[in-house]
Amino acid sequence: MPSYELALIVKALSRPELGIVLKRTCENIMQKGGIVRNLENLGHRTLPFKMSKHGQRHITGNYFIVNFDSSPSLPAELSDFLHRDVDIVRPTVVLKDDGFIPPCKLTEQECNFGEQENPDHEKRLWRGRIVRKLKLRHYDKKKENRM
C-alpha cells in the first residue's frame, strides 16, 4: 500500500467541532480500506490569502496533516468527499515518497545542482540599494531647488 499525506485546512471552529470534523474524515478513510498512521495538528493560523468555500469567506483556519496508507484509488474518492465537506476549506492529498535519494548521494559526489558560489552577492545587493537611495535623495533635492 502506498503512503499518502492529507493536508487539511479546516475553517475556524471550536475544539469539539474540530474533533467531529477530524473523526468524520478519518472514519471515511478507514471505511474505504485505508489505515490512518498519524494525525498532526499544526495549529490555528491566518490564511495566506482570503479563501472562499461554500459561500463563505475565510481569513483564519486550523491546519492538520493526516498520514495514511491506502489503495491508489482512495485519494480520488477521498478528495471528492472532502471537497463536498462544508467544514473543510482546502484539502490536498499527496503521495508520500519517503524513499527518495538524490542521485548525487548514490555516487558519493557533492550535490550542487548547477549553483554558482558568489560570496559577494549580499554585499552587492546592499550596495545597490544604498546607491539607489542616494540617487533618489539627490534627485529629490534637485526637484525641491527648482520649485
- The residue extents of the domains of the chain are 3-95
Quick one: pLDDT at residue 57? 93
Quick one: pLDDT at residue 96? 84
The pLDDT confidence band at residue 145, using thresholds 50, 70 and 90, is confident
User: Tens digit of pLDDT for each residue in 29-69?
Assistant: 999 999 999 999 999 999 999 999 989 999 999 999 999 99
* Beta strand ranges found along 86-139 (DSSP E): 88-95
pTM score > 0.85 for this model?
no
3-state helix vs strand vs coil in the chain, percent to 5: 40, 35, 25
- Checking if the pLDDT of 23 tops 70, the result is yes
User: Is residue 101 within 8 Å of residue 107, measured between CB atoms?
Assistant: no
Q: Report the CATH fold assignment for 3-95.
A: Alpha-Beta Plaits (3.30.70)
Q: Tell me the average pLDDT of the chain.
A: 84
